[in-house]
Amino acid sequence: MTAQSSSPRVAAIQMVSADDLDQNLKAAADLIASAAATDTQIVVLPENFAVLSADAQAKVKLAEPAGDGPIQQFLSDQARQHGIVLVGGTIPILANEPGKVRAACLTVGPDGELLGRYDKIHLFDVALNSGKEQYNESATIEHGENSCVIDTPWGKLGVAVCYDIRFPELFRQMMVAGAQIVALPSAFTATTGLAHWEILLRARAIENQCYLIAPDQGAGRERGRHTWGHSMIISPWGDILAELDEQGSGVATAEINLQSLELLREKFPALQHCRTL
- Catalytically active residues, by annotation: 47, 120, 162
Q: How far apart are the first and last CA of the chain?
A: 27
Distance from the Cα of residue 110 to its chain's centroid: 18
CA distance linking residue 135 with residue 129, whole number of Å: 12
d(CA 187, CA 163): 9
- Ordered DSSP codes for 96-112: SSTT-EEEEEEEE-TTS
Residue 89 makes CB contacts below 8 A (sequence gap 6+) with: 44, 45, 46, 47, 48, 49, 50, 105, 185, 215
Contact 88, 115 (CB under 8 A): no
- At CA 184, angle to CA 76 and CA 42, rounded to 5? 45
Mention every residue, 6+ apart, whose C-beta is less than 8 A from residue 124: 135, 137, 162, 163
Residue 49 contacts residue 75 (beta carbons within 8 Å):
no
Beta bridge mates, 94: 101
